[in-house]
Chain A
Amino acid sequence: MIELIELNKAFDDIKAVNHVSLKIADGEVFGLVGTNGAGKSTTLRIIAGVIKPDSGVVCVDNRPVYDNPDVKKDVFYISDDQYFFPNSTAEDMAGFYASVYENFDKDKFFKMLDGFGLDKSRKISTFSKGMKKQVSILLGLCAGTKYLLCDETFDGLDPVVRQGVKSLFAAEIADRGLTPVIASHNLRELEDICDHVGLLHMGGVILSEDLSDMKFNMQKIQCVFKTEEDEQKALEGLDVLIHDKRGRLHTITVRGEKAEIEKAFKRGELVFFEMIALTLEEIFISETEVVGYDIRKFIMG
């Protein structure tokens, strides 16, 4: 488990990480989301042992990570601009990582490269940005580390490759309990892969919750009530987070379990009723609005 307790990091006068506390359980896919400058990369760098926090504790499996090679053997960090040696090929980099990470699986790496149509003998410098990302991810997956830290890793990948990478992640999680921590400013990128999401804003954690819990406890309904009286009956006692009305069509986000909410809506007479799956983005908008953040501004742009 990765545990961050009251982490603080400032760069001169700028507070990059402000009292951040998070727990990342083993075997889950943790999404770290936030706007540019929210502190995602800094937090990841702290977890990777690249940056030393000003205060607070970061532990990987109850061991401090900074300047600790034993812990770093279990962590592979893919930065948003991953460095490759000058003129190196994917094969060269695999050779290097194999000398550094004892569980690095070269055969698996070459197989995966083939699968993604990447030439192991071609200089990485001639690859496109997306291809470089793919190489980074594959190197990370084959390093055999317990934790894989990905900073904006899915940006720049085409949808097909993204799906392929997600499948690989899923397989690694299933096979050996890999724990990926994925930072992104794009909630849509993480929606179908993350188990748990932490939202950072201005250096602090706004919330950190299991995605399934969030989805389970929040419903989005589109409906048309017969009368206003039916509307009042249906919504009575419900924790309505967002209520939008366009003509007669109501779009309502309500906190609560699905069955409970369905039952409540049956109290009124409805012309049309549909429960729609909430996107991660919508969940965040709802949750953060509740705590007073106008999250649309920084998520929707």
Chain B
Amino acid sequence: MTSANSSWVDKIKANKNIMSNKSLWSYILVAPVMFVTFAVYMVFMFIRSNNYGLMNEQDAAQMLYEKQFVVMESIGLGSKFYILFGVLGIIYAFTKFSYLFSMSKLDFYFSLPTTSARRVQSAYMVALTNFVGIFLGVEAVAILIAAAFKALSAGLMVAILIQTVRVIVLFFTCFTITTLAILLCGTKLIALILTFVMFFFPYLIGQEFHSLNYIFYKTISYLSEPIIFFSPYNDARSLADYINSSFRFYELTNSFDVSSVMHAYLSCIRYDIDMFVTGVAATILVAFVYKHRRAEHVGKTIIFRPVRWAIKVLVCIAVSLGGMTFIHTVFASTWNRNMFIVLFASMIVICAFTGSLIEICLDSDIRSFSKGKRQTFMAMAILLLIFFIYRGDLLGYDSYVPSPSSVESAALVADDFGGLYENQDMYYYGYSGKIGNYSERNMKIKDMDTFLQVAKKGMETAKACDGDYWNKGWENIVAYNLKNGKKVYRYVVIPYDIDTELMDKLTSSEEFIKGHVPCFSETFFSSDSLSRGAAVMTSTFPGGEETTTDVSLMINIVNAYRQDVLDHYKFSYIRDNGAIGDISIHCDTAVNSSSCWLTVFDDFDRTIDILKENGLFDGVDIPVDEIGHISVSNYFMGYNFSEMSDEEARAIYNKWYHEGRDFSSNYKTYTDKDRIKEIMENATYKEYVEWGDFFKNADCQFKIDVDDRFMDAFTCQFAFKKGSVPEFIYEDLNK
């Protein structure tokens, strides 16, 4: 420490008494609260975790992991008690600076022999030393408890150390933001309101703009996240959530070692950077505002005119945007273009109303409702600008295509209704997420020329859709991992008539296949993983169903399947070839149940061979003789899809399927063996198709339901092959 620093510290220490003001009794309440929150909570959770482990026969490794997770979520990086630190920051700030709301206190403090700067510094020092002292004391006790339960590891100690710094930064930031709000106000009530506005405004405005994306843009993806800056609440919550989701479940790839902890932390360090920047910005503002705040400001609502105007404008904007979002939510199911006029009018009315309400509140006088028109008009002008930017997509959101050089990798995430691998549950020791997450995490496409061509087509089609993607193509999400660390998502609709060669080029690449087909997941398809629970593999083909619990055999089959997929998978192959069966693997553990289906195609020789060798393949011939009855339904009475173009048939079908229009229906159950045979000869699996255009391969006018006894074998329904509807079907069902 330099002598200059030493002098500064000494001066602050000398002034410490000035701000200690004998209110330490209030802090005495903090220590027990922290003790209960951390130490007592941790003990309870250790006991709970232990009991749970015993009840569910967890092995020693898992029980240790669960205890370590307790440490992580209580005093480690995943600590859920960030709200407590935020609230303490607010309470401490109000305790230290409440003198600014009372003239007698101001007389007292301002007349004491110190400078205004030193008064603030000493208030900070008293608050920080008090908080840090209590926190470190309680944390030390918590660490000792964790050590006593043998739940510590080197990685956890690193996590605790980092968390200690984070907690201090969080407290400091919350304290400073509250101090800023106090300095800007002359009354306690308004300061409290402004504190909450300052804390939640960045979060709220981020969420509102995110909602606007949903209202105005057609390529918004549910994977997109709101962009939120300067929100300690969001920063603390997001980081804790990320850490907890990373370590929540016991799995082979998870452990609390230093590299895992650091990897997880560095993956979301941006939140801490934001918090740090927020703290620094708030500190600078505090220093600036404190210099300009005068004793005579006591009793005013918001002290500085420009700040009052800015707050009014910002609150008007936030409330109006929130109102728009609410109105959109109310009318979402009945939304049409005309509703934008309603939205626009509502926005203006809400803004005017909010402006009046703010004036009334700030003046505590209902007659002030018409004051401050200029700020209200300014807010309206900004809202108009926002509205037209979004409505006209002036920022090019719906046409965003990054330059190839700016993209590190990209992924095409399956989101289509009939997706082959969609909605498969892979909850396994923390590998939580459906196939969407799998593709997003594992697909690393580098061939941006091909990818961007597909993405462009997809965005153009998505833009042309008006809530009717099914008429145009397959839903997907493009995910860009940019070189600057950002992730950008766009909803796209891959058109039915997309260039097959282009799609084949994209989808036949190893990068695509390994990121698309979940059989390449080492987390799930490894002998270690499958050995942890009761794993069952079921091979389902038209000829019958077979099962095995032999994990090594399962792994061999998966390896063969992987090779087949790599050899054959591509857009045109999957689109044009119906699957012949599937292999499903279910694995149940004490805490999780997971399952995954792998679809088998006719050319998957390696897979079929190994299934045959192990008696798990009963053939692809449908045992027509064993079918007792078949029901055929016609939902389009009077129509004949075979005489229509694909587009005409699709339009009618979609009106029924997606819009609920009734064309009147008819059905008949056939028990005659000849009829059943003829039906099955002309039938095709309806949903065993990815990238499937039903109308290209099948006649969707009729639905075929096979005897319930075969539900396990034929999990999907059948349709007639295109142009192969037997004449008697028309005779029986369409007249």
Contacts and interface: CB of A to CB of B under 8 A. Distances in A.
Interface string B87-107: 000000000000000111111
B287 to A, nearest CB: 14
B222 interface: no
Interface stretch (A73-81, A157-165, A289-297): A73-81
B245 interface: no
A85 B23 contact: yes
A204 interface: no
Nearest to B105: A83
B110 interface: yes
Given A50-B295, A82-B104, A70 B111 contact: no
A62 interface: no
B112 A72 contact: yes
A92 B108 CA distance: 15
A79 B17 contact: no
B612 interface: no
B111 A11 contact: no
A126 interface: no
Nearest to B11: A69
A100 interface: yes
Nearest to A81: B104
A77 B113 contact: no
Contact of A45 (B17, B114, B295): B295
B17 A52 contact: no
A87 B22 contact: yes
A75 B21 CA distance: 20
Contacts of B21: 85
B441 interface: no
A73 B107 CA distance: 15
Interface residues of B, number: 24
A86 B106 contact: no
Contact of B110 (A49, A81, A101): A49
Interface in B105-129: 105-108, 110-116, 118
Contacts of B296: 11, 51
Nearest to A99: B17
Nearest to A151: B107
Nearest to B112: A100
B116 A67 contact: yes
A216 interface: no
Contacts of B17: 96, 99-100
B107 A50 contact: yes
B114 A69 contact: yes
B652 interface: no
B108 A79 contact: yes
B113 A72 contact: yes
Given A50-B107, A51-B295, A92 B102 contact: no
Contact of B22 (A75, A77, A81, A92): A92
A88 interface: yes
A70 B113 contact: yes
Interface in A80-108: 81-83, 85-88, 92, 96, 99-101
Contacts of B112: 72, 100
A48 interface: yes
Contact of A79 (B22, B23, B104, B114): B104
Contacts of B102: 83
Interface in A102-139: none
Contacts of A52: 294
A48 B111 contact: yes
Contacts of B116: 67
Interface in B291-346: 294-296
A51 B111 contact: no
Given A82-B104, A83-B104, A96-B17, A50 B113 contact: no
B168 interface: no
Contacts of A100: 17-18, 112-113
A96 B113 CA distance: 13
Nearest to A73: B113
Contacts of B111: 48-50, 72, 75-77, 79
Given A11-B296, A69-B118, 19 more contacts: A48-B107, A49-B111, A50-B107, A50-B111, A52-B294, A67-B116, A68-B115, A70-B113, A79-B104, A81-B103, A81-B104, A81-B107, A85-B21, A85-B22, A85-B23, A86-B23, A87-B25, A100-B112, A100-B113
Interface of A: 11, 45, 48-52, 67-73, 75-77, 79, 81-83, 85-88, 92, 96, 99-101
6 contacts: A45-B107, A45-B295, A48-B110, A49-B110, A79-B108, A83-B102
Complex A-B, nearest 6 residue pairs according to Cβ-Cβ distance, in ascending order: A72-B113, A79-B107, A83-B108, A77-B111, A85-B22, A50-B110
